[in-house]
A and B are shown apart, each in its own frame.
Chain A
C-alpha cells in the first residue's frame, strides 16, 4: 500500500517522550502530566491548562542503572522508564500522577521520585489507591481517590480548573479523538484492510503520548485518506490475529508480527484502543467524576481486577473482539516478569483454546523486541499452525459439500 501521508510524522513523534508537540504545548503554558497506567482516567489529566503524556522509553538501549536500582528480576519496561528518568528524559514533566496498580510500576515511580530525577522545584508525584474490583463499593473508593490524588493536587499546585464544566470539556476532547481512532480502527474489520496493525498502533500510541488537541487535525486527514486508500492485492497476510496482553508501547512488536504474516486486527493490550478509545457517554443526572470513573472501571481489562466476574468478562471480551474483527487466532503477550500477565497468559492459553476454540500463541518478551529472533520464530510457527488449520478446515468444508 502507498504510505499514509502522516505516518512518518507520527512515527517521528513517537521517537521521543518529549516530542515536538509536548514542547509546543508547554510553550503555550500548559502543564505536562506524566502517567503510567490506564487506571487514572485520561480526561482528568487533560483539563484546561494541562496535557497528559504516558511514560515510555523509546529507543531504549542499556538499562543498567534501572537494573541497579530495581534489580534484574523486575519488569524491563519499569526499569527502562527509570533509566530514562535518570538520563533526564522526563525532566519536562510537571508531575506524575500514578496509581498503585502493580507493584513494579509503583516501585519505578517511587524511584523516579526518591532519586530526585526531576529538577523542577514544583514537580510532585501522587499515588492513588485504585480498586481491584468493579462493584459499587469500589467505584465510591475510586471516585474519592481520583478526587484527592488527581484533581485536588492539580488544582492546588497548578490552579487547574476542576469544575464539572472543565471535566465535560476534557471528556469531549477525548471523545473526539476516540471517535477518530475508532473510525480508523474499524477499517481493520474489512477482509483486506486499508490500514495495517502497525500503522494503527502508531496512530493510537500517539494519542496516549501527545497533547490530544494537537493531533486531531492529522488524525482527521488520515481518516479521510483511508476512505480512498487501496489495499494490496493479493493480501500478503496469512492470518489475522488479536494481540492481547501487557504494555506494547513500541509498535515494533506489531511490525514484527506482521512481518511474519500475522495481521494484527485488534489491539487488546495496554496502550491499545480496545478498550480505551471508545466514547465516554455522560448524562446530566449523575456527578461527572463518578460517570468517568464508572466508565473506566467498566473498561478496565487488566488482570489486576481479580473478582470472578471480571475474569470471565475479560475472556468473553477477547472472544467477542476476535469474532468482530474476524481473527483467526490470538497472541497473548507479556513483558517478562509481569506477574499479572504471567498468570493471565497461562490460563488464557488453556481457556481460550479449550473453551472458546481459538488457537493461542502465548509468549513473554523483552521490552525492546527489535532484535528478537526467538520471538520471530515463535510467531512464524504460530502463523503456519493457524494457516494449516485453516487449510484443513477448508478441505473438510469442500468434502462436506
Chain B
C-alpha cells in the first residue's frame, strides 16, 4: 500500500464479486487526498443536479437515468491504478465530460414537454444524431445543439454495463435481427419504448458510422415528430472527387436548419468557434507527439473520452474545453520532461483498433495495470486533424464537409482499405507500437470484413495482434472477463509473460456497474 504504482494487488483489494467495491484505492496520501476530493466533487455535482426539480422529475421519468447513479464508480474505474499526473489528467479530461453531460441533461429536461415544458427553449434546439459532430451548430449563435441519444444510450452504457440492455431487447422484439450493432438498436429501442424526450425544432441525421446506424436513424425519424434532414456524407472520404459534394451537403443542412428555426447562419460566429476548434486540434497534436516518445502521457480511456467530448460534442463552441486542453498539455509536457509513467511497467506499446466495448471502457486501464500494455492511441481518436478555414466561406464548407466525413468511428469504418487497414500499420510505425489490440465488435461489419487481411499484414510486419471479442452494449455476448481472458491467453501462451499484477489476471466483475 503506497504511492508507488502497483503497490496494491488491485484484483484482490478492489473487487468483491459484488456490485460495490471493497474499498477505495490507497495511492499514497497526496494522490488519495486529490482523488477523494475529486470524488466528493462529482458527488456534489450530482447532488446539485438532482436538486433542480426538472432534473429530479427527469430522473424518475426516464429509465436510463438510473445508470447515472454509477457516475462516482465510473470515475473510479477509469482512474484505477493511476498515480500522479496520469491521475490528474484522467480527472481533468473525463471529469469535464461528466460536468458537460449534466449541463446538457438540465437543458433537455427543461425543454421536455413532460417535465419543464419550456417550449421557447425547445424551439431553439436542433437534435443531432449521437455519432454526429455538432460543429455546424457553431454558426448558429442562438440555437442549442442537443443529442439526447448520447446521455440516453451511449454514455448510459459507459456508466453501467447492462444499462441499455432493455432497449436492445425492445428493438429485437420489434423484429430487427439480433446481428445488428447494439448501439443503433438500443437507440431505436428507446424510441420504440417512448423513452426519449420530444424536444427540438428539427433534427439532422447523418450516415454516420455504419449501415446499421443509418437505418436505425431512418426508423427513429418516425417517432421524433419533427422535421428531419438527412445529411449524406460521402463514404469514400479519401477521394478528392467527393469533397465538393461533402461541402454541398453541409450547406444543405445549414439551409434546412435556417428554414426550420428562422435563425440566420452567422459566419463570423462560426469562424470564431472554428479558431477555437483549430486550437484544440493543435493541443491534441501535441499529446500525440508526446505519446510517440518512450514516456507517453495521455493514454487509453482518458484520451478517448476527452477527444470524443471535445471533437464531437463541444465542436469549438465551449471555451472551457480549450482551457482544459491547454491545462492537459501543460501537465502532460511536465510529466514527459520528468519521465513520469502511467503504470508500473511499460512492456508493450499498443494501438487499440476497432470499436471499444461501451460496457468496458476501463479495459485500457486493466491492460496497463495487469500486463504493462500501454494503449498509446485509439482508433476512435484517429480522426481528422486538418484545420478549418476561419476566413474563406467556401473553403470552410469544404473543411466542414471533410470533418463530417471523418467523424469519430466513421473516419475508419468508412473510406475503405486505406483508412481501415493501411492507416493502422502506418500509425503503428509512427507511434512505435509493437502490438495491436483489435476489438472485434460482433455486430460491426465494417472492421470484420478485413479479418484475414489484418492478420496477414500484422504477421508480415511482426506486430503482436490480439483479438478481443465483445458486443459493444451487450455484455452477455462477450463479458468483461472474456475480454480479459483473450489477452491473458495471448500473453501467457504466445509471449510467455507473467502479469505485472497477478491479482488482476482473473477476477469476477460480472455484477459490477
Binding site for B on A (CB under 8 A): 68-71, 73-75, 78, 100, 102-104, 106-108, 110-111, 114-115, 127-129, 131-133, 135, 137-138, 140-141, 144-145, 148, 303-304, 306-308, 311, 336-337, 339-340, 342-347, 349-350, 362, 364
From A103, A110, A346, give the contact of B445 (CB < 8 A).
A103
A69 & B453 in contact (Cβ 8 Å cutoff): yes
A308 & B212 in contact (Cβ 8 Å cutoff): no
Q: Is B316 an interface residue (CB 8 A)?
A: no
B215 & A148 in contact (Cβ 8 Å cutoff): no
On chain A, the residues within 8 Å of B207 by CB distance are 132, 306
From B176, B205, B236, B248, give the contact of A342 (CB < 8 A).
B176
Max chain B CB contacts within 10 Å: which of A100, A115, A349, A362?
A100
Closest to B241 in A: A148
Instruction: Given A144-B241, A308-B228, A339-B211, verify A110-B177 contact (CB < 8 Å).
Output: no
Q: Is B18 an interface residue (CB 8 A)?
A: no
Q: Is B320 an interface residue (CB 8 A)?
A: no
Q: CA of A133 to CA of B414 in the docked complex: distance in angstroms?
A: 17
On chain A, the residues within 8 Å of B232 by CB distance are 131-133, 138, 306-307
Q: Is B452 an interface residue (CB 8 A)?
A: yes
B235 & A110 in contact (Cβ 8 Å cutoff): no
Over the window 232-252 of chain B, the binary record of Cβ atoms lying under 8 Å from chain A Cβ atoms (1 yes, 0 no) is 101110010110110011001
Q: CA of A70 to CA of B239 in the docked complex: distance in angstroms?
A: 24
A342 & B177 in contact (Cβ 8 Å cutoff): yes
Instruction: Given A133-B230, A336-B177, A343-B219, verify A73-B448 contact (CB < 8 Å).
Output: yes
Told that A132-B232, A306-B214 touch, could you supply 10 new A-B pairs with CB distance under 8 A?
A69-B451, A100-B416, A107-B445, A110-B417, A111-B450, A306-B217, A307-B230, A343-B215, A347-B175, A350-B175
A339 & B445 in contact (Cβ 8 Å cutoff): yes
Q: Is B488 an interface residue (CB 8 A)?
A: no
On chain B, the residues within 8 Å of A138 by CB distance are 232, 245
Q: CA of A345 to CA of B175 in the docked complex: distance in angstroms?
A: 8
**Smallest CB–CB gap between A117 and chain B, Å?**
12
Q: CA of A162 to CA of B232 in the docked complex: distance in angstroms?
A: 29
Over the window 444-459 of chain B, the binary record of Cβ atoms lying under 8 Å from chain A Cβ atoms (1 yes, 0 no) is 0110111111000000
Q: CA of A86 to CA of B16 in the docked complex: distance in angstroms?
A: 51
On chain A, the residues within 8 Å of B248 by CB distance are 137, 140-141
Instruction: Given A339-B180, A346-B175, verify A129-B235 contact (CB < 8 Å).
Output: yes
Tell me the B184-218 residues at the A interface (CB within 8 Å): 205, 207, 210-212, 214-218
Q: Is B329 an interface residue (CB 8 A)?
A: no
From B221, B249, B445, give the contact of A74 (CB < 8 A).
B445
Q: CA of A69 to CA of B457 in the docked complex: distance in angstroms?
A: 12
A141 & B452 in contact (Cβ 8 Å cutoff): no
Q: CA of A213 to CA of B177 in the docked complex: distance in angstroms?
A: 41
On chain B, the residues within 8 Å of A345 by CB distance are 175
B211 & A340 in contact (Cβ 8 Å cutoff): yes
On chain A, the residues within 8 Å of B440 by CB distance are 71
Give 20 pairs: A residue, B residue, CB < 8 Å, sorted on A.
A68-B452, A70-B449, A73-B445, A102-B211, A110-B450, A129-B234, A129-B236, A132-B207, A137-B252, A141-B234, A141-B248, A304-B214, A306-B217, A306-B232, A307-B232, A339-B180, A339-B445, A340-B215, A343-B176, A346-B176
Tell me the B420-452 residues at the A interface (CB within 8 Å): 440, 442-443, 445-446, 448-452
**Smallest CB–CB gap between B353 and chain A, Å?**
15
On chain B, the residues within 8 Å of A110 by CB distance are 416-417, 449-450
From B174, B211, B416, B451, give the contact of A70 (CB < 8 A).
B451
Binding site for A on B (CB under 8 A): 174-177, 179-181, 205, 207, 210-212, 214-219, 221, 228, 230, 232, 234-236, 239, 241-242, 244-245, 248-249, 252, 413-414, 416-417, 440, 442-443, 445-446, 448-453
On chain A, the residues within 8 Å of B174 by CB distance are 346, 350
B451 & A71 in contact (Cβ 8 Å cutoff): yes
Instruction: Given A70-B452, A306-B217, A350-B174, verify A114-B417 contact (CB < 8 Å).
Output: yes
Instruction: Given A73-B443, A306-B232, verify A342-B215 contact (CB < 8 Å).
Output: yes
Q: CA of A128 to CA of B215 in the docked complex: distance in angstroms?
A: 21
A344 & B215 in contact (Cβ 8 Å cutoff): yes
On chain B, the residues within 8 Å of A364 by CB distance are 177
A308 & B230 in contact (Cβ 8 Å cutoff): yes
A362 & B448 in contact (Cβ 8 Å cutoff): no
**Smallest CB–CB gap between B333 and chain A, Å?**
40
Instruction: Given A350-B175, A362-B175, verify A303-B453 contact (CB < 8 Å).
Output: no
A306 & B235 in contact (Cβ 8 Å cutoff): no
Q: Which 10 A-B pairs have the closest CB atoms?
A: A107-B449, A69-B452, A343-B215, A346-B175, A141-B245, A339-B211, A71-B448, A129-B236, A339-B212, A346-B176
Q: CA of A110 to CA of B218 in the docked complex: distance in angstroms?
A: 28
Number of A-B residue pairs with CB-CB distance less than 8 Å in the complex they form: 155
Q: CA of A230 to CA of B450 in the docked complex: distance in angstroms?
A: 52
A347 & B219 in contact (Cβ 8 Å cutoff): yes
On chain B, the residues within 8 Å of A68 by CB distance are 451-452
On chain B, the residues within 8 Å of A114 by CB distance are 417, 453
A106 & B416 in contact (Cβ 8 Å cutoff): yes
A103 & B451 in contact (Cβ 8 Å cutoff): no
**Smallest CB–CB gap between A128 and chain B, Å?**
8
Q: CA of A346 to CA of B451 in the docked complex: distance in angstroms?
A: 29
B176 & A337 in contact (Cβ 8 Å cutoff): no
On chain A, the residues within 8 Å of B205 by CB distance are 306
On chain A, the residues within 8 Å of B453 by CB distance are 69, 111, 114-115
Q: CA of A105 to CA of B452 in the docked complex: distance in angstroms?
A: 16
From A108, A127, A304, give the contact of B416 (CB < 8 A).
A127
Q: CA of A100 to CA of B245 in the docked complex: distance in angstroms?
A: 15
Closest to A106 in B: B416
On chain B, the residues within 8 Å of A307 by CB distance are 230, 232
Q: CA of A364 to CA of B181 in the docked complex: distance in angstroms?
A: 17
Closest to A102 in B: B211
On chain B, the residues within 8 Å of A140 by CB distance are 245, 248
Closest to A337 in B: B179
B210 & A339 in contact (Cβ 8 Å cutoff): yes
Instruction: Given A68-B451, A110-B416, verify A343-B180 contact (CB < 8 Å).
Output: yes
B450 & A103 in contact (Cβ 8 Å cutoff): no
Max chain B CB contacts within 10 Å: which of A135, A308, A345?
A308
Max chain A CB contacts within 10 Å: which of B180, B416, B440, B449?
B449
**Smallest CB–CB gap between A300 and chain B, Å?**
13
A343 & B218 in contact (Cβ 8 Å cutoff): yes
Q: CA of A106 to CA of B445 in the docked complex: distance in angstroms?
A: 11
Max chain B CB contacts within 10 Å: which of A106, A115, A135, A336?
A106
Closest to B221 in A: A308
Instruction: Given A132-B232, A337-B179, A364-B177, verify A343-B448 contact (CB < 8 Å).
Output: no
Q: CA of A362 to CA of B245 in the docked complex: distance in angstroms?
A: 36
B215 & A339 in contact (Cβ 8 Å cutoff): yes
**Smallest CB–CB gap between B397 and chain A, Å?**
13
On chain A, the residues within 8 Å of B414 by CB distance are 100, 103
On chain A, the residues within 8 Å of B179 by CB distance are 73, 336-337, 342
Instruction: Given A103-B446, A103-B449, A131-B232, verify A343-B252 contact (CB < 8 Å).
Output: no
Q: CA of A346 to CA of B171 in the docked complex: distance in angstroms?
A: 9
On chain A, the residues within 8 Å of B249 by CB distance are 137
**Smallest CB–CB gap between B428 and chain A, Å?**
18
Q: CA of A346 to CA of B178 in the docked complex: distance in angstroms?
A: 11
**Smallest CB–CB gap between B273 and chain A, Å?**
25
**Smallest CB–CB gap between A64 and chain B, Å?**
11
**Smallest CB–CB gap between B108 and chain A, Å?**
24
Q: CA of A145 to CA of B245 in the docked complex: distance in angstroms?
A: 11
On chain B, the residues within 8 Å of A141 by CB distance are 234, 242, 244-245, 248
Q: CA of A169 to CA of B210 in the docked complex: distance in angstroms?
A: 38
A137 & B221 in contact (Cβ 8 Å cutoff): no
Closest to B172 in A: A346
**Smallest CB–CB gap between B335 and chain A, Å?**
40
Instruction: Given A129-B234, A148-B241, A336-B179, verify A311-B218 contact (CB < 8 Å).
Output: yes
Max chain B CB contacts within 10 Å: which of A103, A114, A337?
A103
On chain A, the residues within 8 Å of B449 by CB distance are 70-71, 74, 78, 103-104, 106-108, 110-111
